Structure 1
């Protein structure tokens, strides 16, 4: 019998998995987290119940999920290595575990499912004709969840724009706009001026998932929701927010903005898997793409939304990128504000 307040999180050391795990914990859930090195993970003292296991091992996932009401499937191979080979088997393991436990799967979704034929306005029911390998795998992941709904599986997919946050892991913010751990002297801008782009602050995404789970009885067996997140209408708002936050935190000059060096990816992608994935997703920066959150707002009443500069400030603090000239008092205040 599944406990209504027990969740298993796969990928709890990652960006979205970790954020969902912490917010479920803070909402009164007992949160289990699967990890291949449970002794090291347990040193985090984060209130999670760490369990030894591998998301690629079905027996490990099924055993860890016993008694759980929710399985958060937020696990990905690190650095995109063997992504196409491993992603679907890991999801199949979660589906088997969820069916055995009577649990609902929560899947963080993306816009990779969609191709240009669905742009610029995306709804949950827009046609999914991806133009990338990663997008095709995303479509297949959701297809398997939908098919499993016919066998009684319940799932929740929350799609959002490009992630950013204090612990976002691999993201365009931390790998394309700034250099984590360094003072921000330059902000690179992947898109062209005038081309809108959608961002999603990780704590807001996690809070949305928790609120949707609290309304589980109102969810369809295969439930899908889009988040509006932060809409950068002309493609410059995120860079300006970073410049404003850094300028105020350091009391010095604001960083300059320059175009993202796509030519570097073109030269290096055969040798660097991450660059290959980034280059493949360039089409998402070449035209405005916006997600409609009408269905989400109809159920929740509103979408969790942190003001952009507050979200950027917490993100830069978490990434260690406010710079050596930033006031220690200012940086401490930023961290404390995010913890609240």
Structure 2
């Protein structure tokens, strides 16, 4: 393996630290005592120290920037995505190639947040890490290729951990179905939209739980094979209404009222040619038309449990983070189940 020096066991590069999953993993790594570096375009100075992170001026699309930022790191968290789904096909694979090159150079473990998009209906309804990957969408095909490159790199000494989860939600989760499809951020909840077909279950994952899982797997990374994949069960909404009901309960606890209504798929279909975000939502509709659930047996066998925040706590924290409920000091803590 090529190395530029001895990596520090507690130093990590987080790519995508300004985003939802990258930011949450960064916060939890800091809490666990890690030293962090991150890349950010447009910094006034080459290096800025903020929020416990050393921010370096650079771009995940530039190999030299990623190599320099990863120096002496034992872990690279690859949580970077093109903003607003723009130029997805042109940017995603070059960025992961840069991360792989840096991981190989430093002898670092690469961590990737995975999704359900790798899978098509032939693998439904219960997904294991070994389920066949025949995605229906362009985005899904890119995710399959991305993971294939990671697995191929493991033969060259690059260690990788992939954690796949359902649709994210959380107080700092960025763009997701909860904030784009169920409620309107920045205002009291008056209506809760239901994207799923009646009675169809759906897989959700609370972002702090996903980040906690990654941090705990990193703490035991020496015990893992070179290419390790894990699925999270997260919050299984058995009939597609349980998350909406939790939103309704949170709103009522604060003296509000909200009505349920169907998600306007007809409108996203009409506007999707002009709005990239709506085009992506429309492309993923197949995941709302049939139940898709994830088997976390492998994760529980390795860690002994899955980090899991109770649904009502997770939903209330999410609504506060979105500005849909009055802010209140306090931290939602994951509990063992």
Structure 2 residue aligned with 1:29, among 34, 40, 53?
A: 34
The residue aligned with 2:207 is 202
Is residue 2:268 matched to residue 1:274?
A: no
State how 1:169-318 maps to structure 2 within 5 Å: 169-249=174-254, 251-252=255-256, 254-318=257-321
TM-score, structure 1 normalization: 0.94
Question: C-alpha distance in 1, partners of 2:48/2:103?
Answer: 28
Q: How does 1:14-53 map to 2 (within 5 A)?
A: 14-39=19-44, 45-53=50-58
Aligned 8 A contact 2:48 2:56 in 1? no
Considering only aligned residues, what root-mean-square deviation do their CA atoms show, in Å? 1.5
Alpha carbons 1:269, 1:275 under 8 Å: kept: yes
Query: SS state of the match for residue 34, structure 1?
Result: strand
Deviation at 1:38, TM superposition (A): 3.1
Cα distance per residue 1:264-285 (max 9 Å; x no partner): 1110111011111110000000
1:35–1:41: 8 Å Cα contact kept in structure 2? no
Structure with greater helix percent: 1
Work out the CA distance in 1 between the residues paired with 2:58 and 2:253. Answer: 45
Equivalent in the alignment of 2:18: 13
The aligned residue for residue 163 of structure 2 is 158
Q: 1:34: how far off?
A: 0.8
Unmatched tracts of structure 2, length 5 or more? 1-5
Give the drift of 1:39: 4.4
Which residue matches 2:94?
89
CA positional deviation for 1:234: 0.6
Q: Moved runs in structure 1, 4+ residues, more than 6 A? A: 40-44
Q: Secondary structure at the match of 1:97?
A: helix
1:320 aligns with 2:323: yes
Contact 2:46 2:56 in 1 (8 A): no
Match of residue 337 from structure 1: 331
Quickly say closer, same or farther: Cα 1:29–1:186, change in 2 above 3 A.
same
User: Is the CA contact (8 Å cut-off) linking 1:14 and 1:168 kept in structure 2?
Assistant: yes
Matched, 1:144 2:138: no
TM-score (ref. length: structure 2): 0.95
Structure 1 residues 44 and 16: alpha-carbon distance in aligned structure 2, compared to 1, 3 A threshold: farther
Shift of 1:218: 1.3
